[in-house]
């Protein structure tokens, strides 16, 4: 009987559930995880989206202009070609507020144009106005609150990328020496005209 007891004790120990030692219990268990790949959205090449938004629409004459814009442009041209500043004043007064003629406040718009005209009567400025409006135009800010039809298109175009034909058109408005100065400034700085899509004449002034 005494010899049987050790054997029974060994069998009892073998039947007990296994427990990890302290070192084994503390060791982290590796759990297999599934890697999930989220598909990425294709990205446009740098500059592509910006170009689509900021590149202005270009045109010439009345073709492509909204009817109200074309009407205002023609009214300004007719007044300028008449040589009658009173007629130009009437066109200005169609606006709720007169078009801006300077970055600074001016008094009477016609008197101001006379002071800016080399002949002192405003006729030289009228000639400039016709040259500007007969040049190509650019639509800037299409579909935004700042949408504007601008003459000449050179006011929004990079001067260092003009074609020979575009330079010929530019020389109808400015001299070659003026062009050299503008290239140094990095932009067109002579007179420009802005008309809103509703036909409102916003400005006729030296480009900022």
- Give 197's contacts (C-beta < 8 A, 6+ positions apart): 66, 68, 69, 147, 148, 149
- The 10s digit of each residue's pLDDT in 176-200 is 999 999 999 999 999 999 999 999 9
Q: How many beta carbons lie within 10 A of that of residue 46, not counting itself?
A: 7
Instruction: For the chain, count helices (H), then strands (E).
Output: 9, 5
Q: What does each C-alpha distance from 122 to 34, 86, 146, 168, 193 come to in angstroms?
A: 80, 11, 30, 26, 17
pLDDT score of 8: 46
If one compares 115 and 22, the residue with the highest pLDDT of the two is 115
Backbone φ/ψ region at 120: left (φ over 0), alpha (ψ -120 to 50), beta: left
Q: Measuring CA to CA, which residue among 202, 198, 199, 178 is closest to residue 190?
A: 178
Burial (0-12, 13-18, 19+ Cβ within 10 Å), 141: middle
How confident is the prediction for the chain on average, in pLDDT? Answer: 84
- Is residue 155 within 8 A of residue 136, CB to CB? The reply is no
- Describe the strand order of the beta sheet including 57-59 as a list of residue ranges: 57-59, 137-140, 148-151, 191-195, 201-206
- In the chain, what are the domain boundaries? 60-206
Between CA 95 and CA 100 the distance in angstroms is: 11
Q: Six-digit token pair at 193?
A: 């005209």
Q: Measuring CA to CA, which residue among 145, 161, 201 is closest to residue 58?
A: 161
Q: Measuring CA to CA, which residue among 194, 156, 192, 154 is closest to residue 69?
A: 194
Is-cis flag, bond preceding 35, omega within 30? no
What is the pTM for the complete model shown? 0.74
pLDDT score of 52: 44
Question: What is the arithmetic mean of pLDDT over 60-85?
Answer: 98
pLDDT score of 49: 44
């Amino acid at each position: 009987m005494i010899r049987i007891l050790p054997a029974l004790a060994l069998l009892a120990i073998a039947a007990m559930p296994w427990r990890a030692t302290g070192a084994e219990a503390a060791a982290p268990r590796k759990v297999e995880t599934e890697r999930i790949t989220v598909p990425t959205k294709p990205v446009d090449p740098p500059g592509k989206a910006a170009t689509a938004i900021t590149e202005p629409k270009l045109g010439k004459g009345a073709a492509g202009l909204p009817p109200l814009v074309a009407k205002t442009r023609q009214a300004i041209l007719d007044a300028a070609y008449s040589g009658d500043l009173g007629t130009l004043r009437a066109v200005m007064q169609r606006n709720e507020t007169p078009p801006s003629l300077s970055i600074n406040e001016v008094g009477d718009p016609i008197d101001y144009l006379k002071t800016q005209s080399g002949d002192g009567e405003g006729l030289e400025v009228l000639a400039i106005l016709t040259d500007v409006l007969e040049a190509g135009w650019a639509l800037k800010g299409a579909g935004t609150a700042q949408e504007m039809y601008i003459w000449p298109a050179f006011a929004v175009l990079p001067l260092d990328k003009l074609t020979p034909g575009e330079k010929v058109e530019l020389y109808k408005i400015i001299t070659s020496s003026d062009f050299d100065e503008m290239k140094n400034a990095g932009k067109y700085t002579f007179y420009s005209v802005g008309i809103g899509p509703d036909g409102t004449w916003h400005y006729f002034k030296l480009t900022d």
